Amino acid sequence: MIVPDTVLHILTGEYPPQPGGVSDYCAQIATGLAELGVSVHIWSPGASGGEPRAEPPGVEVHRVPGLFSPRGLGRLARALDQRPTPRILLLQYAPNALGCRGMNLTACLWLLLRSRRDEVRVMFHEPYFYFGVRHPHRNVLAVIQRLMAVALLGASRLVYLSSGTWDRYLRPYMWLGARPLMWLPVPANVPRCSDEAAVRRCRRALGAGAVDAPVVGHFGTYGVHIRPLVQACFTDLAGRDPRLRFACLGRNSSSFVASLETRVPALRGRIVASGGVDSHEISAWLRACDLLVQPFPDGVTTRRCSLMASLVNGCPTVTTFGPLTESLWLDEKGVALATAGNREELVSRVTELLDDEQRRLALGQAGADLYDRRFALRHVVRELGLASLRPGGPGPG
């Protein structure tokens, strides 16, 4: 059961109205925990003042300029010391979220020292930068981020992971003592769409009003590693079937589509971008697609909130299997898998599903069932609120 006087302080590099997956994640878990009676304080960079965002009862947001800078950490320490105990500090960690170009070892050492007063826990959304031979100067970044991980693991009483794969990445860096690791789901940051009229409007916007005009979509932010995969897949599909329509959904989709139409004339007039619309509208666009293609160069993992948006809406989804992919995706059968980096196999999976409506609909339902069973917000809140938020006193065990 929940300890009534539990106070959870979430430290994060982003929080709404700032966009981003970690931002959405923090808002979701804060709301869910507050509904269970946990007092939640959010500490995020930014200036105070302006139009405050409406928060549910039990959630209080504190904006601290330069939160993870030495001066900001000093302000944070003084503010925390004025708050009641016991206190649990939960850091939402990705190396770049702390600033200093992903090399903020100071903030990690601060948390290690702070663990003498408060119970510290860390949610690793990402662990550290990889070593490489192409850009040797980046190996300095890789070394520093591993030292950051050492400090954070040493500070933590309990470590949460956005992907079970991070277990093998982090365990070798428990130099200051072993710590328990727990996988936490990353729920969808868009709702399930139940507005059928909105779905029909999106279909009309795609020019897919006719029964014989299937729609293939992609949802994401079109980062440098994903853009070429989506471009290659859509190019091949457009050449194979002139009936197909394409939907690019999410932030940066408009610039991606403009570039793609210039590069691939066969896509002109057949591809639409949603732009950076709100989550409810995105869910309608997702439902308007007959199939989603979500390729990842290192393979699908449980931390991909863009994939969760597809699953929660029951969209049949083709994604990629790679070195970071957890066994869950092989065992649960909620998505269709192609080998990461195999362009022909990815296109083939999409084509097979477009040609088999029954199999496609079954895949969409399997994905929705998988999401409800493993990834829904209630699972995160239960783990944090019922199993985890039992203060054990400051300092790692």
Burial 35-69 (b: 16+ CB within 10 A, else e): ebebbbbbbbbbeeeeeeeebeebbebbbbeebbb
Which pLDDT value is given to residue 369? Answer: 97
Q: Which residue has the higher pLDDT, 69 or 390?
A: 69
% of the chain with per-residue pLDDT over 90: 77
% of the chain with per-residue pLDDT over 70: 92
Contact 121, 89 (CB under 8 A): yes
Which pLDDT value is given to residue 150? Answer: 98
Which pLDDT value is given to residue 48? Answer: 59
Which pLDDT value is given to residue 208? Answer: 62
Q: How far apart are CA 48 and CA 52, in angstroms?
A: 9
The radius of gyration computed from the CA coordinates of the chain, to the nearest angstrom, equals 22
What the chain holds in terms of domains, given with CATH numbers, is 7-186+377-388 (3.40.50.2000), 196-375 (3.40.50.2000)
Ordered DSSP codes for 113-125: HHTTTSEEEEEES
Which pLDDT value is given to residue 119? Answer: 94
Query: Average pLDDT of 355-364?
Result: 96
Please state whether the predicted TM-score (pTM) of the whole model is above 0.75: yes
* pLDDT tens readout for residues 192-240: 998 999 999 998 888 765 556 899 999 999 999 999 999 999 999 999 8
Query: Average pLDDT of 373-394?
Result: 76
Which pLDDT value is given to residue 51? Answer: 58
* pLDDT tens readout for residues 119-167: 999 999 999 998 886 777 789 999 999 999 999 999 999 999 999 999 9
The sheet that has 87-93: what strands, in order across it? 59-64, 39-45, 7-11, 87-93, 119-124, 156-161, 181-183
Question: Where are the extended beta strands (E) located within 54-200?
Answer: 59-64, 87-93, 119-124, 156-161, 181-183
- Residue 329, CA distances (Å) to 123, 218, 357 in order: 22, 19, 22
